[in-house]
Structures are given as structure tokens and as C-alpha cells.
Amino acid sequence: MNKTPRIHIPLAVRQYVFQRDKYQCQSCGKTGLETDLSIDHIIPLARGGQNDISNLHTLCCTCNQRKSDKTDHRFRQHFKI
């Protein structure tokens, strides 16, 4: 499996993902009012995930660090991994 090169996520895409996810961590449910949020790849680039908007979601910094380069089993039903 080849690692996908990392690219800068444009501000407009970041804003779209935050709005789509209602400014809420998709893992623990905390909102942007409670914690810092970040954009994360559902299927990590290191595992062949793409830089496509459908592969991005909102996570709080704590959940993003905990996830690291692993896949989240809750999203496996949406992606063939």
C-alpha cells in the first residue's frame, strides 16, 4: 500500500468540513466551544487514504492524537478498508 502525499487543506474545504460536521468532534461529540477542533483523514494517508473531501472529518485534538494513523472502526461501514 502506497502512502498518499500530504497536501495543504484549503481554508474553504476546512470550513466546509467543520460546518458539515456541525463543529462537533465525530468521535467524542465535543463541540468547538468545549475544545479545539481539527480536520482529520478518516482513512489515514499513511494507509492509502485520499485527500478527498469525503475522507475528511472533524475531530477534537485529543481524539485526533489518540487515533494517530489508525482507522476508526465506526467508519469502516462507509469505506472499503
Indicate the domain borders of the chain: 11-75
pLDDT score of 2 more than 80? no
pLDDT at 58: 96
| 18, 53, 79 from 14: Cα distances, Å | 6, 9, 21
The amino acid present at 55, given as its one-letter code, is: N
When pLDDT is cut at 50, 70 and 90, the band that residue 77 belongs to is very low
pLDDT digit string (tens) for 8-55? 999 999 999 999 999 999 999 999 999 999 999 998 998 888 999 999
Quote the DSSP letter at residue 24: B
Q: Could you give the CA distance from residue 59 to residue 23 in angstroms, rounded to a whole number?
A: 9
Query: What radius of gyration, in Å, describes the C-alpha atoms of the chain?
Result: 12
